[in-house]
Structure 1
Amino acid sequence: MWIKEIVQDLINKHQTNDFSVIAQQMNIQIVEHNLHEEIYGFYRYVRRNKYIFINSNLAEHKKKFVRVHELGHVVLHPDVDTPFMRSNTYFSVDKIEHQANRFAVELLISDELVQEYISEQLTIYDIAALHHIPVDLVKLKFKGLF
């Protein structure tokens, strides 16, 4: 539940859940670049500058999720260099990736929106399709609610 609280604090501080506004207010530079097809995006902190790199070859709906996922790293793991850790250590990055996914789902789909979807009798699959988010990630949101 701590991630939900961090997301809510972020929304309250910036008075929005809009990625673009939050990134601008946090002075995060967004860089779209032609990355290898297996790399959707990554976060880098260089000399007090924050950068989110997004694969320019992704569909817009995937870019949206990747941007918010990487924002999760900025907020939750500001000093972690996951590309370095993956290539130079034996440390598993699964936990921090899971946390960034949870952050993204919390930011993209509010509890109020979920309640609205439930009253409209939408399934998890419907919600996943609406937001272009994998079903397993939408399940994370529901796991946090019930």
Structure 2
Amino acid sequence: MDIPNIVRTIVEKCETRNPFRIIEQLGVILIYYPLEGVNGFYQYFQRNNIIYIDDHLSEHEAFFVCAHELGHMLMHKKSNAMFLDSRSHLNTCKYEMEANRFAVNLLISDRDLREYLDYTTDQLSSLFGCSKKMIELRMKDFV
């Protein structure tokens, strides 16, 4: 799956990297709710795209979760990952990794990374407010 191209396409279409603005433009229903055990999830129900975000998350955390769930919506629309994970015990790691890649590619552009090429992974993690693991994941798609 060409995740950088999917990100590029949606950014060009919506003219923003802000996941909340993107889902608003796409007519996605956003629900903040006290979720237990998950930070958020995506649901396709009766031809509606719905993103749920735990209402206890910080603004920064909610931003990442929104981008992650947007990735599920664009790449895994027909898959109910929560159902797969909790009911069938299938490994959903691939879907989660793809959604994480989508989120960090959306939130951190190649231009952002070029500006800080001399930074270490730890410094980039601090600068962009994501885990070192997410920075490493983003660097794999850096052009």
- Is the pair's TM-score, using the shorter chain for normalization, greater than 0.5? yes
Q: For residues 60 and 84 of structure 2, what CA distance do their matches in structure 1 show? A: 27
Residue 72 of structure 1 corresponds to 71
Is residue 2:132 matched to residue 1:135?
yes
Q: For residues 32 and 129 of structure 1, what CA distance do their matches in structure 2 show? A: 27
Residue 33 of structure 2 corresponds to 33
Instruction: Tell me the matched-pair count.
Output: 143
Residue 61 of structure 2 corresponds to 62
**Deviation per residue, 1:11-67 (Å, 9 max, x gap):** 11111112122101111111111111x211000110011111011111221111111
Residue 12 of structure 2 corresponds to 12
Q: For residues 55 and 20 of structure 1, what CA distance do their matches in structure 2 show? A: 15
Residue 53 of structure 1 corresponds to 52
Among all aligned residue pairs of Structure 1 and Structure 2, give the percentage whose two residues are the same amino acid: 34
Quick check: 58-67 or 104-113, which moved more? Answer: 58-67
For structure 2, which runs of at least 5 residues remain unmatched after alignment?
none
Provide the secondary structure at the position in 2 that maps to 1:67. Answer: helix
Residue 103 of structure 2 corresponds to 104
Provide the secondary structure at the position in 2 that maps to 1:43. Answer: strand
Dislocated runs of 4+, deviation >6 Å: none
Contact map agreement 1:11 1:17 (CA 8 A) in 2: yes
CA RMSD of aligned residues (A): 1.3
Amino acid in structure 1 at the alignment position of 2:101: R
Contact map agreement 1:14 1:22 (CA 8 A) in 2: yes
Is residue 2:121 matched to residue 1:124?
yes
Contact map agreement 2:20 2:63 (CA 8 A) in 1: no
Q: What's the TM-score once normalised by structure 1's chain length?
A: 0.92
Q: For residues 63 and 33 of structure 2, what CA distance do their matches in structure 1 show? A: 15
